[in-house]
Chain A
Amino acid sequence: MPTDTRTPAATTTSAGSARSSSGRPRRGRRRPNPLSALVLVLFLVFFVLPVVWLLLAATKTDDQLVHGNPLSFGSWQALADNWTALTSFQDNAIFLWLRNSAVYSFIALVITLCVAIPAGYALAMNQFRGRRTLLVATLVVMLMPNATLVVPLFLEVNAVHLIGSMWSIILPYSFYPFGVYLTYIYFSTSLPRDLVAAAELDGCSQFGVFRHIALPLATPVVALVGFFSFVANWTNYFLPYVLLPESDQFPVQVGLGNLLNAVPQFNPTVGTAAVQRPELALATLLAITPVLLVFLFSQRFLVAGMLAGATKE
Chain B
Amino acid sequence: MSTVSTTARPAGSPSRRRRATWPGRGGHLFVAAYVVLLIAFGVVPTVYAVYFAFTDAGDNFAGVANFVAAAGDFRYLSAIGHVALYLVCWLVSLVVLVVGLALVLHRVRSAGVSRVLRFLYYIPGALAGAASVMVWLFVLDPTVSPVSFLMRALGFSTFGEVVAPGHLPVLFTLIAFWTGAGGWIVVMYGALNNISPDLLEAARIDGAGAWRTAWHIQIPLLRKWIVYMMILAFAGGTQLFVEPQLLSQASVGVAGRDYSLNQLSYDFAFQNNNVNTAAAISVELLLIGLVVAGVFVARSGFFDAD
Contact = CB atoms under 8 A, between A and B. Distances in A.
Interface of A: 9, 12-13, 15-16, 19-20, 24-32, 36, 39-40, 43-44, 46-54, 57, 65-66, 70-71, 114-116, 118-119, 121-132, 134-135, 137-149, 151-153, 155-156, 171-172, 174-175, 177-178, 180-181, 185, 188-190, 193-194, 197-198, 200-201, 203, 205-207, 210, 220, 224, 228, 231, 235-237, 253, 256-257, 260, 266, 277, 280, 284, 287-288, 291-292, 295-296, 299, 302-308
7 closest pairs, A vs B, by CB?
A128-B24, A148-B282, A128-B27, A122-B30, A126-B27, A152-B48, A206-B26
A198 B1 contact: yes
Given A16-B204, A147-B265, A181-B228, A194 B1 contact: yes
Contacts of B278: 147-148, 151
Given A122-B31, A151-B275, A306-B194, A70 B145 contact: yes
A218 to B, nearest CB: 13
Contacts of A306: 190, 193-194
Nearest to A237: B129
Interface stretch (B54-62, B74-82, B181-189): B181-189
B127 interface: yes
A15 to B, nearest CB: 6
Contacts of A134: 31, 35, 38
A118 B30 contact: yes
B293 interface: yes
Nearest to B33: A115
Interface string B113-139: 001011111111111111100111111
B73 interface: no
Contacts of A143: 231, 235, 286, 289-290, 293
Residue from A147, A277, A284 with most neighbouring chain B CB atoms (10 Å): A147
- The secondary-structure label for the interface of chain A is helix
B263 to A, nearest CB: 9
Given A128-B25, A143-B293, A175-B41, 10 more contacts: A29-B107, A36-B107, A70-B144, A128-B26, A143-B289, A148-B46, A156-B48, A171-B41, A295-B119, A303-B118
B120 A201 contact: no
Contacts of B138: 50, 53-54, 57, 277
Given A49-B147, A129-B24, A148 B131 contact: no
Contacts of A280: 134
Given A39-B104, A231-B126, A284-B127, A119 B31 contact: yes
Interface string B37-66: 110111111101100100000000000000
13 contacts: A16-B201, A16-B205, A27-B197, A29-B107, A44-B120, A119-B33, A123-B27, A135-B303, A139-B297, A144-B45, A190-B194, A235-B126, A295-B125
Contacts of A24: 109
B38 A197 contact: no
Nearest to B288: A143
A235 B129 contact: yes
Contacts of A48: 120, 123
A126 B26 contact: yes
A54 B135 contact: yes
A28 B200 contact: yes
B250 interface: yes
A198 to B, nearest CB: 7
Contacts of A189: 194, 224, 306
B111 to A, nearest CB: 9
Given A47-B178, A119-B34, A126-B27, A28 B123 contact: no
Nearest to A52: B146
A32 B123 contact: no
B262 to A, nearest CB: 5
A145 B42 contact: no
Contacts of A304: 193
B1 A197 contact: yes
Q: Which of A146, A151, A302 is packed against the most chain B CB atoms within 10 Å?
A: A151
A63 to B, nearest CB: 11
Interface in B1-25: 1-2, 4-5, 8-10, 15, 19, 23-25
B131 A31 contact: no
A237 B189 CA distance: 29
A47 B124 contact: yes
A135 B201 CA distance: 36
B108 interface: yes
A122 B31 CA distance: 7
B242 to A, nearest CB: 7
A299 B187 CA distance: 11
A128 B275 CA distance: 39
A159 B238 CA distance: 30
A207 B40 contact: no
